Chain A
Amino acid sequence: MTQSTRLALALPLVTLTVLTACDKNPVANDTPVDPTVPINMPTLGRGLEGSRFTAEIAVRNGFVYTTTWSQRFAQGNTVFTWEAGGVPFLADSTRIEDATTLGDVQISDDGNLLVVATERVPGRIVIFDRSRTDLLVELSQFHSPETDQGVHTAKLGRVGGRHYAFLSIDPGNNEPPRLVIVDITDPANPTQVFARAMGLPFMHDVFVRDGILFTAEWDDGLGIWDIGGGGKGGTVQDPVQISNIHTVNGNVHNVWWFHDPTTGEKRYAFVGEEGAGFAVGSSSSGDIHAVDISDIENPREVAYFHVPGAGTHNFTMDESSGILYAAYYNGGVRAIDVRGDLSVCPDGARAADGRCNMRLAGREAGKALTDGSPTVSIWGVALEGHRLFASDMLSGIWVFDISDLER
């Protein structure tokens, strides 16, 4: 081999070695200021399902419903029904044709309906009668040109005595992301009542309560809309925006407006940030952001919950206890005490921008599946009674006892 040939072969290697050596990430000091140790939530059982990636979870009357995502050993086109009175076991499965992913599942407040969102083209919702809990009976499907790119999430809510499904629609190559609202008061004959381009670049999720609509618009932040309860003249057919806030880092993924029954406060909306870098079971990022909406026209972020090496996904609340339960993908499940004034914290738990780091302030009340063994990727959580159900993309569902966190 000539000298020039050796040089030719060595140069790329040396170049990339130098580049690789320069790629170092700083490690932050994140020791909690408050010495409160989160309790480990005892595991009551688990239900195994590994043929598909498990996605969202809903529970009612001892029956758990999980959807499926993407493609694993089989396509993510199936809704699983679990009997979960004791140790969960699979009771039934329902396949939805022409779907690649079922990203969301919701049960109506009266327990009679179960709604599943389907991706990608042709995006739609499938409405089931679940009056027989162990057997889903399809009532209808709803699809329109505005939902065609894929329904990423579907949330249910009642406004003015009517029942609605709020659909967050995927963007297409030449189609914007959208919010579509469908009247499902007659679930056999759903009717679209609203559609608008919304979100940048994704319209991801909503939360509906008391005639107020919260929209998770990714880098367009959190939108707050009057749809009948905000006093701005808004309706479901013609929402009126009250305010918008860009939470830190954007990527606004989901939201929960906390009503504290013990104090009557409706002060905080919790925003989930889904950071980039997610790979199933191995990495995730993104914080929970606490937004003070006591002045709903001027919301402000006052606190956040950050887990090193993991990011949040969907969450739910035990409002009576003031505990937020969050799925944290590879970081397991976290229980956060969100009662009280979240803007108050020790100096050591306050970030440079003034926000309180709730974990460092000792507000992490409980946890599960946090030690990395087994490898988990927790997508969502759902509560019923003293039990918390968590959907694990890799293995099915987990059940935890939350009695020690109730108050």
Chain B
Amino acid sequence: MAAFTAFPAAAQTGPVHLRVGAHAIGMMSRIDPGIGDRIETEPYLTQSMLLGHVSLAGGTFELAATLDLEGLTLPDGELAPGNAGEGYVDKRHPHTYMHELMATVSPRLSAVDLTISAGRGFAPFGTDDPMVRPFVRYPANHHWSQILERWVLMAALRRGPLSIEAGLFNGNEPQGPDDVGGFDRFGDSWSARGTLRPAAGLELQGSYAYIESPEFRSGFGLDQRKWSASARLERALSPASTAYLFLEMAETHEYADGREAFIFTSVLGEAAWRPGPWTSALRFERTTRPEEERLLDPYRSPRPHSDETIIGATRWNTVTAQVARSFSMGGSSVAPFIEFSHNAIEEVTGAIFDPVAFYGSTSIWSVSLGIRIRAGMQHRRMGRYGAALPAAPHDDDDMHMTNRDQ
């Protein structure tokens, strides 16, 4: 198995440890049917990122930065049936340029590991960002299971197998790739997460978040209360093969003036097996999402809304399978892959939204063929900082099993 750990990509001078990396996926996706019973085929350069990490004073101070270039390479989003968020529907939205810029301080305490993190990044809620999981296609539950691209102030405490995090952040989600948020709403939302690692490679997570008006910048939209629970297992099966299992459940309750308006749920399971340079991975997902008014571009919904209504809700039952083969070249790797998805759509609010009329079928197939390119440092986890990260020494290489070159 080729391993990035051999690639230093670092300039270590005295107490300063600098590492950089890059990541991108070039691919062609075909969706059958897209909206209006049309077959859609589009090329993408997706998940294009420049990564940086600075460690000072033996890790007492760390700075993690991710410059996401999807605003340039993916301005109209990426076809992804079932995805919804930030005004995109059945497409994944491009992330903001300033995806992460988080500083972490680690006071040296004897009994516990305590870190304070601040900057723009992930709130302590839910599970890892899909970008560091085995699949290219985002699941439909991205906005139910992660809270990202916010100004965050958080503390993480780890003792033995248990870590606890809590953080304050701004509730408003980005309005476009160049949106850097602003501090006027900082602190109107909060989240907390507990993680238990009872055995090597095993991680249990539970978290709660209150988010004020994520979809309405001025702060007067529906509020969200979110729950997430997950289990994650990574094990080496042999010196040359690893296995990964992941199960998560998430609920998002939307409230208007304290009164519950909508509930959306998600159950998702992933498994991956990596014998040598090969990876095979399988994902099942069952997620509900709102069906909203669409704009002249049917892959877009208005933000902000003009009132507090939706058309209805649909449940997306999705199976995704991927096979990839990694080739290492010095400190870089390329991994050709093919990924299939099948979406089965159910209307769950009384047959008001008719998937057959809208898409042409309740069954949508998609296939993506492409190459994942990595160079230098990669994120070991995306969505955790400081003491919330696993303490195991093998994780210090800034790589993680699920993110290793496939």
Contacts and interface: CB of A to CB of B under 8 A. Distances in A.
Interface of A: 4-5, 7-9, 11-13, 15-16, 19, 23, 53, 69-73, 75, 98, 100-101, 103, 119-120, 150, 152, 170-174, 176, 200-202, 204, 219, 249-251, 253, 274-283, 285, 375, 377, 394
Contacts of A101: 293
Contacts of A274: 307-309
A170 B306 contact: yes
Contact of A11 (B217, B231, B251, B254): B231
Contact of A12 (B231, B306, B308): B231
B233 A152 contact: no
Interface string B345-368: 000011011100110000000000
Contacts of A377: 352
A173 B308 contact: no
B309 A171 contact: no
Given A276-B256, A278-B308, 16 more contacts: A7-B231, A8-B202, A8-B233, A8-B247, A12-B206, A12-B247, A15-B229, A120-B295, A171-B306, A200-B220, A251-B257, A274-B309, A276-B254, A276-B309, A282-B312, A375-B350
Contacts of A249: 257
Contacts of B256: 251, 275-277
A23 B313 CA distance: 19
B304 A173 contact: yes
A53 B310 CA distance: 13
Contacts of B349: 279-283
Interface string B225-264: 0010111110000000000010111010011110111110
Nearest to B232: A8
A4 B198 contact: yes
Given A11-B229, A249-B257, A278 B357 contact: no
Contacts of B259: 275-277, 285
A152 B306 contact: yes
B220 A71 contact: no
Given A8-B202, A16-B249, A278 B309 contact: yes
A173 B303 contact: yes
A282 B350 contact: yes
B227 A19 contact: yes
Given A70-B294, A170-B306, A201 B206 contact: no
A119 B217 CA distance: 20
B222 interface: yes
B296 interface: yes
Interface string B296-340: 101000111011111111000000000000000000000000000
The secondary structure that dominates the A interface is loop
Q: Which 4 A-B pairs have the closest CB atoms?
A: A276-B256, A8-B231, A201-B220, A12-B229
Contacts of A8: 202-204, 231-233, 245, 247
B278 interface: no
Interface in B183-209: 198-199, 202-204, 206
- With most chain A CB atoms within 10 A of its CB, the pick from B202, B232, B296 is B296
Nearest to B259: A276
B218 interface: yes
B330 to A, nearest CB: 37
B175 interface: yes
A215 to B, nearest CB: 16
A276 B261 contact: yes
- B220, B232, B233, B303: residue with the most chain A Cβ atoms closer than 10 Å: B220
A201 B247 contact: no
A200, A201, A375 pick with most chain B CB within 10 angstroms: A201
Contacts of B298: 71
A15 to B, nearest CB: 4
Contact of B352 (A201, A202, A219, A281): A281
30 contacts: A4-B199, A7-B198, A8-B247, A11-B206, A12-B206, A15-B227, A16-B249, A53-B311, A70-B311, A71-B293, A71-B298, A171-B218, A172-B304, A173-B217, A201-B221, A251-B308, A274-B307, A276-B222, A276-B254, A276-B259, A276-B308, A277-B256, A277-B261, A277-B308, A278-B307, A278-B308, A279-B311, A283-B349, A375-B352, A377-B352
Contact of B294 (A5, A23, A71, A275): A71
Given A201-B221, A275-B256, A280-B311, A15 B231 contact: no
Nearest to B205: A12
A19 B260 contact: no
A278 B260 CA distance: 11
Nearest to B295: A100
Nearest to B229: A12
A119 B306 contact: yes
B210 interface: no
B216 interface: yes
Contact of A279 (B198, B222, B249, B312): B312
Nearest to A13: B249
A285 B302 CA distance: 22
Interface string B267-299: 000000000000000000000000001111010
A394 to B, nearest CB: 7
Given A4-B199, A4-B202, A282-B312, A201 B218 contact: yes
A283 B202 CA distance: 42
A100 B251 CA distance: 31
Contacts of B306: 103, 119-120, 150, 152, 170-171, 202
B217 A280 contact: no
A98 B297 CA distance: 10
A376 to B, nearest CB: 11
